Amino acid sequence: MPRPEPAAADASPQATSGPQIVWQGRHLHMARDGRWEFATRPVKRPAVGIVAVTDQGALLLVEQHRPPVGGTVVELPAGLAGDLPGAEQEPLVEAARRELQEETGYEAQRWTELGMGYSSPGLTDESIMLFLAEGLRKTGPGGGDGDESIVVHEVPLPQLDGWLADRAARIDFKVYAGVYLARRGGLQ
Amino acid sequence: MPRPEPAAADASPQATSGPQIVWQGRHLHMARDGRWEFATRPVKRPAVGIVAVTDQGALLLVEQHRPPVGGTVVELPAGLAGDLPGAEQEPLVEAARRELQEETGYEAQRWTELGMGYSSPGLTDESIMLFLAEGLRKTGPGGGDGDESIVVHEVPLPQLDGWLADRAARIDFKVYAGVYLARRGGLQ
């Protein structure tokens, strides 16, 4: 649902009736609700992240340069739902399917919702649905779309904890969230 | 380290030499690096989150209203380091100690670093250090500082997975990250 987007400055912080957009970029907006400031995307849909496990029992992780943190980060394959013209209302699982294929080159036969949550609810309204993807088949090169340069790691599950520990400080917390949720659901 | 903060609009997105601050709020800024936009805090220190486990084997979780998402969220006790005047360089563990006491009323005898990571590295430079806190002793009321209204939950570890599952969709992913890291470190 679109939020109201008056451009006027919020002269009376106590007297708002919901979030006001106070700065608009191309990909990100800044909103204010009373005294609270937070980042929000123009596209009002959740993001998606994928815990993709191969038939050989390896987890697919992606690594790419992230300008905000000035270095490479290890992440789940992930992306935004509804950010393509004409597909604004795509189901979340379709967005997940698309992102998994683009970033890793894999398609999955079985999709299971692991859970929705927030990445940093004091700073942004971003919510993310995590999926478990199984029955994987490699059908493309992966590596991301034209703008992206993504390295794909296939990490055998028995070595996963150690592999992540070796890369501590360069991990997106959603990786840990996905592993927790997948194990809670029975992933060995 | 302070970033350069020119207020001028970035007329030549390709020709930047690092992030430029393009909008400044009181608690949050918006930065641009080339075509990339991201949220950043004025205080250039990591946030801290605490996996606090009582001697009776319960995890402390906090629940509070979060304006960005328009509802209550279940989170780890957490906060910012260096956001108090005169304590800009406080060690992360001191910030964690302060936040645990303010939000839950507990002090901890043993502090262990669980790991640093990113909450949403495409959208913000926010990094977070998670700590395990043990040897807890209740010494205050908790509930947050004057501005905050925080409910504290003490969730017995054997019931933790089910308790979180019952509150799915209102969980900060850092809770799952903290549980994953604490279990990887041996928490039963």
Beta bridge mates, B62: B75, B152
Q: Does A92 touch chain B (CB under 8 A)?
A: no
Q: Name all domains of chain A by residue range, CATH numbers in brackets.
A: 1-42 (no CATH), 47-184 (3.90.79.10)
Smallest CA–CA separation between A84 and chain B, in Å? 18
- pLDDT on residue A87: 87
Q: How many residues does chain A have?
A: 188
Beta-carbon count within 10 A of B41 CB: 18
Q: Does B32 touch chain A (CB under 8 A)?
A: yes
Distances (CA, A) of A156 to A56, A121, A142, B123, B185: 8, 32, 19, 29, 19
Residues of A in contact with B128 (CB under 8 A): 173
User: Is the per-residue pLDDT at B3 higher than 70?
Assistant: no
Could you read off the pLDDT of A129-162 as tens digits, one per residue?
999 999 999 999 888 877 778 999 999 999 999 9
Q: Using CA atoms, how far apart are residues A98 and A104, in angstroms rounded to an integer?
A: 10
Residue B30 CB-half CA count within 13 A: 27
> Angle of helix B173-184 relative to helix A173-184, nearest 10 degrees?
80
- The ipTM, to two decimals, is 0.89
Smallest CA–CA separation between B109 and chain A, in Å? 25
User: Who among A33, A120, A165 is closest to B119 (CB)?
Assistant: A120
User: Is the per-residue pLDDT at A8 higher than 80?
Assistant: no
Whole-model pTM? 0.90
Q: Using CA atoms, how far apart are residues B173 and B183, in angstroms rounded to an integer?
A: 16
Average pLDDT over residues A176-184: 98
Give B64 or B87, the one with higher predicted confidence: B64
Q: Which residue of B has its CA nearest to A34?
A: B67
- pLDDT on residue A188: 86
Q: Does B163 touch chain A (CB under 8 A)?
A: no
Q: Which residue of B has its CA nearest to A124?
A: B68
Could you read off the pLDDT of A93-133 as tens digits, one per residue?
999 999 999 999 999 999 999 999 999 999 999 999 999 99
Q: Work out the pLDDT band at B71, boundaries 50, 70, 90.
A: very high
Handedness of CA B69, A41, B121, B95 (dihedral sign): negative
